A and B are shown apart, each in its own frame.
Chain A
Amino acid sequence: MTAAMTNALSAPLALPSYREQSDDVRARFRELKERPVVLSIEQLGKTFDSAKGRVTALSDVSFEVHRKEFVSVIGPSGCGKSTLIRLLAGLEQPTTGLVRLDGRPVDGPGKERGMVFQGYTLFPWLTVKDNVTFGPRMAGVPPREADQKALEWLDVIGLRRFGDHYPDQLSGGMKQRVAIARALANEPRILLMDEPFGALDAQTRAGMQGHLMRIWDSVDLTVLFITHDLDEAVYLSDRIVVLAAHPGRIAEVIEVPVPRPREREQLLSAPFLATKNRLETLIYGATPAHDATVEDGKD
């Protein structure tokens, strides 16, 4: 770690290219691309009619997510990342293009695409356990069976003893862990996460990233993760889809050259910093800073 640190501090310009992959990372990506495609996004476009006229939020976005892959979507404010994930969840309909899950076109929300939202969306009138069993109960799973499953998921997120608490009695980080468990209890084909740790303080956030990595390691789980935090994107992802704004479109898809399993020490390793460097150029280098603040909150 110290070697990486001195390297990073003394010679920031001597970073390797973010395209440079070690042999095992390259082998991992080769294997990953052979896995079946879970989610495919084909020429997706979305325009809104606003008072100021027609706004193109997304234009011609195409990429694929393979099984058990962790893909992040990152971009400046106004790049349409939230629009993208709402289209994937089926909460909005695309203007052009198509989303396919396991080859079948998506129309409308469905339990095979679980979602974790940025805000707290636990049902306040249900206990933690009943929140986790919500999906299965809606699908008609017998209560006893659903409860059993819920307890297993509460074990996974380490909150079993809070099963009978109400959401208002939990901290922000705990709420988001329950939200993850609630989505996973439905055994979705893919987990869509819309800046799930955005509202948390830095320390809780780091802890949550660790939690998510452990869950992702232990379960057969495909994740599409929206974030605006560069470290978070590099730390968690196999690939990062970088969007550009006005209109929202793909700037680049980056294969993260940091080996797995990931440790927090790698935050200062050369491949990590090289990738982060590239993201910074793509996101902040291209767009003037004031533009980002003007569009703040519209995303």
Chain B
Amino acid sequence: MASPLFRPREPLSPRARAVATALAFVLPLSLWSLVSYVPFVWHPQVLVEQAGDASVPGTYDFIAAGERVDRESFEARNRELAEAGAALATGTRVNPIYLPAPHEVARAFYTAFTTEPERRGDAWLHESLWHSCQIIFWGFLYAALLGLPIGVACGTFSVASNLIEPFTDFIRYMPAPVFGALAVAIFGLADAPKITIVFIGTFFPMVIVVANTTRQVEPALLHAAQTLGASTRQLVTHVVLPSALPNLYRDMRVLVGCAWTYLVVAELIGEKSGISAFIYQQQRYRHFDNVYASIVIIGAVGLLCDQLLALAGTLLFPWQSGHSGLLKALRTLPRRLRAGLSGERALEVSK
């Protein structure tokens, strides 16, 4: 009999699932720690502490204290010094600067917010992050305000679909960043061209996705509504929209992720701004711990947004809550708590 872990499509037990989910984070972290803290695993460079006798000439006499140099160069320099009978250089094996250790990145989650910008006028991390969120918000809002109605129209009426979708599909295949130069020329250097890029990046896929989702509305529901006397307008407002709404909402959640992708490009055109500019600068100052922290923070903000939207979804669409565990879990929480308490009491009694 095959292990229960490897039966096709067989759901895992809750315990196995919890372990697997934990491992999903623990395994890469362990790998990272291994590479960072165990010297002989990788550590291809040497952080020079003392450069030895700098007066000895040689191919490798550029080595100076406080620098990270390749191990080969370091060892070659020491051979040169040894031949000359001079004092040897000393140093410790380290990883390249672009791979900080976990504890350094962990510390950066705090220090990235507290370190003052290196140059006056540069943005703090939280300011950069807030600026990015605003770009996303406006770009996505405009895309949704236009894309939702157009997409629903395409999904409902064949004439709209045939009129709009081919051209939209055509533009959709152009990468949004290619419009960067145009956007700057038209909208100048401030936020407007960045919002435009996020808009272009999300609007065109949105029309296609919304149209497809709307097309999936069960025709039988439309027929039923028609035999109940609904007018064309009522079919759209009372059948198509409510029927497609939960799936449209899910589409919007996916497309917000799409907007984050375009944000990074958008922020680097014209005047650099936002979280991407922050990352870019930290990289230039070689604060790679801050770079990693910022990247992880983007992921965290995205995940948090998505989870909040998912939670809101279960509240917005109660007829679907049968399928979503969260609302059900919340609703049954008091009962389960009571059951849990009485269970514990029973245990105490049995003792």
Using a CB–CB distance below 8 Å, which chain A residues touch chain B?
89-91, 109-111, 113-115, 117, 119, 121, 123-126, 134-135, 138-139, 166-169, 179, 182-183, 186, 192
B234 on interface, CB distance cutoff 8 Å: yes
Inter-chain contact A125/B243, CB cutoff 8 Å: yes
Bound CA–CA A214/B201 (angstroms):
60
B208 on interface, CB distance cutoff 8 Å: no
Stretch of B124-132, B183-191, B219-227, B258-266 contacting A (4+ beta carbons < 8 Å): B219-227
Q: Mark B299-316, 1 if CB is under 8 A from A, else 0.
A: 000000000000000000
Q: Mark B220-251, 1 if CB is under 8 A from A, else 0.
A: 11011111111100100011001101000000
Query: A183 — which chain B residues lie within 8 A by C-beta?
Result: 227-228
Among residues of A, the one whose C-beta sits closest to the C-beta of B229 is: A111
Inter-chain contact B322/A182, CB cutoff 8 Å: no
Chain B nearest CB from A120 CB (Å) reads 8
User: Could you jot down 9 A-B contacts, CB within 8 Å?
Assistant: A90-B226, A90-B227, A111-B229, A121-B223, A123-B225, A124-B243, A138-B229, A138-B238, A186-B228
Query: B223 — which chain A residues lie within 8 A by C-beta?
Result: 89, 91, 109, 115, 117, 121
Query: B238 — which chain A residues lie within 8 A by C-beta?
Result: 134, 138
Inter-chain contact B317/A125, CB cutoff 8 Å: yes
Query: A119 — which chain B residues lie within 8 A by C-beta?
Result: 220
Inter-chain contact A89/B242, CB cutoff 8 Å: no
Bound CA–CA A138/B230 (angstroms):
6
Inter-chain contact A123/B239, CB cutoff 8 Å: yes
> Which of A90, A121, A166 is B220 in contact with, Cβ under 8 Å?
A121
Inter-chain contact A109/B226, CB cutoff 8 Å: yes
Query: A123 — which chain B residues lie within 8 A by C-beta?
Result: 221, 224-225, 239, 242-243
Inter-chain contact B221/A121, CB cutoff 8 Å: yes
Bound CA–CA A114/B226 (angstroms):
10
B166 on interface, CB distance cutoff 8 Å: no
B58 on interface, CB distance cutoff 8 Å: no
Inter-chain contact B220/A138, CB cutoff 8 Å: no
Nearest 4 pairs of A and B residues by beta carbon? A111-B229, A109-B226, A121-B224, A135-B228
Among residues of A, the one whose C-beta sits closest to the C-beta of B227 is: A115
> Which of A91, A124, A139, A168 is B226 in contact with, Cβ under 8 Å?
A91
Bound CA–CA A139/B118 (angstroms):
68
Inter-chain contact B229/A186, CB cutoff 8 Å: yes
Chain B nearest CB from A165 CB (Å) reads 10
Chain B nearest CB from A181 CB (Å) reads 12
Query: B285 — which chain A residues lie within 8 A by C-beta?
Result: none
Inter-chain contact B319/A125, CB cutoff 8 Å: yes
Inter-chain contact B227/A138, CB cutoff 8 Å: no
Inter-chain contact A168/B229, CB cutoff 8 Å: no
B318 on interface, CB distance cutoff 8 Å: yes
Bound CA–CA A109/B223 (angstroms):
8
Among residues of B, the one whose C-beta sits closest to the C-beta of A124 is: B319
Query: A109 — which chain B residues lie within 8 A by C-beta?
Result: 223, 226-227, 229
Among residues of A, the one whose C-beta sits closest to the C-beta of B323 is: A168
| Interface contacts beyond A114-B228, A115-B223, A121-B218: sample of 20 additional A-B pairs, CB < 8 Å, sorted by A | A89-B223, A90-B227, A91-B223, A109-B226, A110-B229, A114-B227, A117-B223, A119-B220, A121-B224, A123-B224, A123-B242, A125-B243, A125-B319, A134-B230, A138-B229, A138-B230, A166-B322, A182-B228, A183-B228, A186-B229
> Which of A121, A134, A138, A168 is B231 in contact with, Cβ under 8 Å?
A138
